[in-house]
Amino acid sequence: MAKILLSFLGTRNYLECNYYLNEKKVEGVKYIQEALVRFLCEEWTEEDKIVIFITEESREKHWNTEDDVLKKDHSPKLKEILESLNLDCEIKTVLIPVGRSEEELWEIFEKMFDSISKEDEIILDITHAFRFIPFLMLIVLNYSIVIKKISILGIYYGAFEAIGAYNEVKEMPVEKRNAPVFDLSPFIDLLNWTLITQNFLKFGELRDVNRFLKRRREKHNTFFMELKKEQNLFNQINAFTSLFKTNRGYEIIKEHDFKALKTRIKRVERKDSQTRLLNHLLELIYLKLKNFENEDIENGYRAVDWCIEHGLVQQAYTLLQENMISEIFLKVYTEEKLRDHDLREKIVKNAFNDKIKYNYEEFYKEKKEYLSDEELNEIVRINKIIPEEYILIFQDLRNYRNDINHAGLTKDPKKSRVLIKSIKELNERIKKVREKEFKKQI
């Protein structure tokens, strides 16, 4: 893991000025690279490096004074200046084309990407990056975040134009040429924040959000420094989403405090220009869980919708079947017995057998070896209050659930696309039955 400063050398005429970053100031420098190195790189080691992307023209104009033998101007250029700082880190250049064709653009992309190694910590300077280069470099960095697992320490821009136009500045004494260096890394953080939000919308979970916040705070990034107190809230949200991934049916319908979680989310409101972005993510989260209520059997069906929306197919099958059992269970038994395995499996689950209605003798023959007459009578009693369509749905659901839970190692395994499609269809069938018939009947 190395630290790398990536910078670009342009072809314009540069003037000496004084750059300042936070409380630091470097006076009388011509090249922004010198200022950034003195701000950020003086304690770097041999493992670290400074990479300057140059074109043929910028190399000739600003990199090496050896090219000026026949010229009158022998003032130090960037290579000489950086070498004079006696840094321990490596200093190298990468020659890139100007970018006059699509082929050259891809060549620039590849050279930028190849300059980065796995898990590098990147500082990017875009002060003299020409035209499309900053945009292309951001794409490279985002790509590298995924492929090479890099991290971004900062993105900097030396705002020479804040002093004035070139000709105006040229007439100023150097001591008045004070140019700020802007740290633009909060905006790359925004890209990361966008990925976090996208993952939540797609997968229904806040992947790595706390690790991301912790890493940014360790870098003293003001964008997320104040979000430390929200870390516990994100832990609670992750605990909520993990209920679906792990099929915690009882917690979903009986134990989880959805009211407290919703209240806490609504209490968080950021008004400053940067951290108010958190509000958008929290609003999306709130909208996704607003229908969940404390101690509500409907949560089980809401959880099925959640799982289908976020691609949790196996969980959707399991939660749908178990919630159908729970719903019938609570019509005939007390809540305290909801997790009574014998009652659920031996009595209520068996009550969904469609043979009871049209071929009781066959059902009795199948079950009499391990169920008593008293238990069979109780099964029949419960079966009578379940609508026929509801039972048929349950039978289809059981077959698909067995198929998916046994990894397709069954006599008639279904294709994955069939399983994905069928859970959606079964869920819609359940909704129609419950709306039209089931709620009225029981």
What's the confidence (pLDDT) of residue 47?
A: 95
pLDDT tens sequence across 395-413:
999 999 999 999 999 888 9
The mean-pLDDT minimum among 33-37, 109-113, 180-184, 223-227 falls in 223-227
Q: What percent of the chain has pLDDT over 90?
A: 59
Query: At what angle are helices 313-332 and 231-245 packed, to 10 degrees?
Result: 80
Give the residue from 331, 395, 333 showing the smallest Cα distance to 363. 395
pLDDT tens sequence across 40-68:
999 999 999 999 999 999 999 999 866 55
Distances (CA, A) of 202 to 258, 281, 308, 358: 21, 13, 11, 44
Class of domain 3-183: alpha beta
Beta bridge pairs of residue 21: 24
Q: Write down the mean pLDDT value for the chain.
A: 88
pLDDT at residue 294 tops 70? yes
Domain ranges of the chain: 3-183, 193-289, 311-441
Structure-token pair, residue 272: 């400053």
What's the confidence (pLDDT) of residue 375?
A: 93
Give the residue from 311, 310, 307, 319 showing the smallest Cα distance to 401. 319
pLDDT tens sequence across 109-123:
999 999 999 999 999
Which pLDDT band holds residue 442 (cuts at 50, 70, 90)?
very low
Strands 151-158, 90-95: pairing kind = unpaired
Distances (CA, A) of 285 to 197, 252, 272, 297: 9, 17, 20, 21
272 vs 333: which has the higher pLDDT:
333
Q: What percent of the chain has pLDDT over 70?
A: 90
For 424, phi and psi rounded to 5 degrees?
-65, -40
